[in-house]
Every structure is written in structure tokens, then in C-alpha cells.
Structure 1
Amino acid sequence: MASGIWTTEYFICTDCGMSYTATKEQHPDHHSGSFDCKVCGSVVHAWTGFYDFFDWSSAKTAAPVFGKKRVTHKAPGV
């Protein structure tokens, strides 16, 4: 890892709603990668640029996502 600026970023899987945090670090050279949801396998975030992400973990709490209704499924006949 480079000795660049570190920030904590928050992500939500658009398919299942699982929340994650990751540390973003600035780099002098180009990096790319992606992170898949541990619950449903969908891509949570993909990146390319002069930064990298590491230390992915499940977020303890998630901020509300405005303008997006979470889908809930009911059993047939309920």
C-alpha cells in the first residue's frame, strides 16, 4: 500500500441491500478491481484509477437510501 490519503467509504449492494465499508487509499500508480457481495454475489463496487480499496467488511449500520424502496417478498396467499 502507498502512503496516500485514506478514507472510509460506505457501499450498499443494489441487489440485496447488504451494507459494506471499505478503506480507499490514494496511489501514485493506476489500480483497478471489484468487490462482490458476500450474500448474493453481485458486484457491489468496481473501480479503476489512482486509488485502491481494501479492508472490506460488513457495515454494522447503514444510512438510509433515499428515493429507493426496499423490496420485501411475501409468501403466496399472505
Structure 2
Amino acid sequence: MAMKTKKRIPLQKTIWCKIRYWQLLHDLTDDELAMYLNCSTRTLQNYDHDAKNLTLKTVDTFLCVNELTLEELMTA
């Protein structure tokens, strides 16, 4: 029996969408978010296009700076 392949959203994209949602909730500019992630605004645009280069270090930096857990971010 052939299983249907479901298209799924990669984990990096899911996390990136949650970070962008958090940014929206806290009314932050791209410059402020870039500061939290320790990257450039150009990198944010690259993540918007394709989040495959979003690293655990970047996510961890964001979580530490904002005193969040991954669970809190993902359930926001």
C-alpha cells in the first residue's frame, strides 16, 4: 500500500514564523529583531525567503535575550 506523502513545513520555517509572530506581538522593527538575533536585517530577509540557514545558535540567542523557552515560543 503506497502512503500519501504529506507536504510539511520544515522545522526551521516553523520556528522562523514563530519568531516573526513574536516580533509582531511586541511591535519590534526589523532592526530591533536583528539585534536580538545578533544578525543583519539582510539576514532576516534571507530567512523570510528560506529559513534553512536558521541555526540553533541563532534561535538560542533569541530565546536567551528574551528570557523565553522554546516551548513558550512555539505555543505563542
Length-normalised TM-score, structure 2: 0.23
The structure where strand makes up a greater share of residues is: 1
Q: Which has the larger radius of gyration?
A: 1
Q: Which is richer in helix?
A: 2
Q: Normalized against structure 1, the TM-score is what?
A: 0.22
